[in-house]
A and B are shown apart, each in its own frame.
Chain A
Amino acid sequence: MEHKEKIRQFITRNLTVFDDEVEFADSDNIFELGLVNSLYVMKLLQYVESEFDIVIENEDMDIKYFSSVDNIARLIERKLATV
């Protein structure tokens, strides 16, 4: 499965609202749209590390890298490229 599809599914599983009401683009800021609580970045961080077998370093822990499907996918690809 493509990275973006996995990320999208994870976000959908953790929505604060019912999933059948929601549509969002890969470029949408999921925090600004109120789709997820900001506390959930912690779960997302753990998910991304275990699912893609990468380590998110201190310098990558910026909320902007986790704010949309596109940005998360970009972070993952950058990390996979440096392994």
Chain B
Amino acid sequence: MKEIKCIIWDLDNTIWDGILLEPGAVRLKPGMKELLTELDSRGILHSIASKNNQEDAMAQLKVFGIDHFFIYPEIHWNAKSTSVEGIRTKLNIGPDTLLFVDDQPFERDEVASCFPEVETMDAVEYTRLSDYKRLRPRFITEDSARRRLMYLEDMQRNQEESAYQGPKEEFLASLGMQFIISVAGPDDLKRAEELTIRTNQLNATGRTYDYQELEDYMRSDDHLLLVCELTDKYGSYGKIGLALVEKSEEHWRLNMLLMSCRVLSRSVGSVLLTYIMSQAAEEGKTLLADFRQTGRNKLMYATYRFSNFKEISNDGNGNILFENDLSRIQKYPPYITIHFPS
């Protein structure tokens, strides 16, 4: 079972006791604020699917001092499955990383019937959430603790982007993006492990690597472990990319390449690939790349193919080996400043 990335909460008789639209005050559930705070610090996101009046509900959350925890809240009278799908799309994460908490069996069933991969939980069980294993990431990294803020920065970017009238590339240029490629150091390993676990769409093999393996590769003379960070005028997206290259006499072999889905819309996915291709070409090597079809990573397949990689073997079970003769290496996009390893 995958780690949960976001909890979608109902409000009435779930976050608080009582029903907002009925007479009498609602009361925050005991320990709820502490629970939200604790999970937030682990990098778990919170959102809302509630049938209520949006203004009243947000005002009540403010009174309780917990309104800032929730991103992309869906508060209206439509089906909760619609709300869940709306939140999932905006966060760009898989349904199997969502937990839906509601006191009403009807609502839980309605969500489960549309999205069987979404785990549902009765609100009476909320006290066991802080110990629930799918909510206990192995490491809390700097990036996980900042996750909510990074998504808030994304909201701001997206608003500005949809309001922008000129050409797309001009907008991207206005962001002042900096793409920083570096050789992984000891401080990067926890985040590197987390990336191999959390990344699905732009992930060449879907294989997870644990801390110890990554440390071995970091220290190996025959391997190159690269991490990338992306920043722009709104702040840092954090460490969002990872690559593992195996170096041998004749060729370089890209064992792993992944990029966080949060930067999909920024068209930076191929920057790291271009860097690795250029380096391999400079050393006079050809480049091989391992790929495993996972059903979720079609965009990564496209990234390789459109970068002129050709399949040289395919076992029919989704295990593919690509080769690139490096005769054509695409340029870096002009709207990004790239920093190379020193």
Are A and B interaction partners? yes
CB pair A58–B301 under 8 Å, yes or no, is yes
Interface residues on B, range: 10 to 19
One digit per residue, 1 when the CB lies within 8 angstroms of any chain A CB and 0 when it does not, for chain B 299-337 equals 101110110100100000000000000000010010000
Q: List the A side residues contacting B167 at CB < 8 Å.
A: 15-19
Q: Answer whether residue A42 sits at the interface, using C-beta atoms and an 8 A cutoff.
A: yes
Q: Answer whether residue B41 sits at the interface, using C-beta atoms and an 8 A cutoff.
A: no
Tell me which residues from 251 to 270 in chain B have a Cβ below 8 Å from any Cβ of chain A.
Answer: 267, 269-270
One digit per residue, 1 when the CB lies within 8 angstroms of any chain A CB and 0 when it does not, for chain B 140-174 equals 00000000000000000000000000111100000
CB pair A42–B303 under 8 Å, yes or no, is yes
Knowing A61-B301, A63-B306 are in contact, say whether A14-B168 is a contact too (CB < 8 A): yes
B166, B306, B311: the one within 8 Å of A38 (CB): B306
CB pair B303–A37 under 8 Å, yes or no, is no
Q: List the B side residues contacting A38 at CB < 8 Å.
A: 270, 306, 330
B269, B270, B306: the one within 8 Å of A61 (CB): B306
Knowing A39-B269, A39-B333 are in contact, say whether A16-B168 is a contact too (CB < 8 A): yes
CB pair B333–A37 under 8 Å, yes or no, is yes
Within the complex, the shortest CB–CB distance from A54 to chain B, in Å, comes to 13
Knowing A14-B168, A16-B167, A16-B169 are in contact, say whether A40-B305 is a contact too (CB < 8 A): no
Q: Answer whether residue A80 sits at the interface, using C-beta atoms and an 8 A cutoff.
A: no
Knowing A17-B167, A18-B166, A61-B306 are in contact, say whether A42-B267 is a contact too (CB < 8 A): yes
Within the complex, the shortest CB–CB distance from B254 to chain A, in Å, comes to 18
CB pair A42–B299 under 8 Å, yes or no, is yes
Give CA–CA (A79, B12) in the complex, Å.
48
Give CA–CA (A41, B270) in the complex, Å.
12
One digit per residue, 1 when the CB lies within 8 angstroms of any chain B CB and 0 when it does not, for chain A 11-39 equals 00111111100000000000000000111
Give CA–CA (A18, B330) in the complex, Å.
23
| For the complex of A and B, 7 pairs with smallest distance between CB atoms | A61-B305, A16-B169, A39-B267, A41-B306, A61-B302, A63-B306, A38-B330
| B residues lining the A interface (CB < 8 Å) | 166-169, 267, 269-270, 299, 301-303, 305-306, 308, 311, 330, 333
Name 22 interchain pairs, CB-CB below 8 A, sorted by A. A13-B168, A14-B168, A16-B168, A16-B169, A18-B166, A19-B167, A37-B169, A37-B267, A37-B333, A38-B270, A38-B306, A39-B267, A42-B269, A42-B299, A42-B303, A43-B267, A45-B302, A58-B301, A58-B305, A58-B311, A62-B305, A63-B305
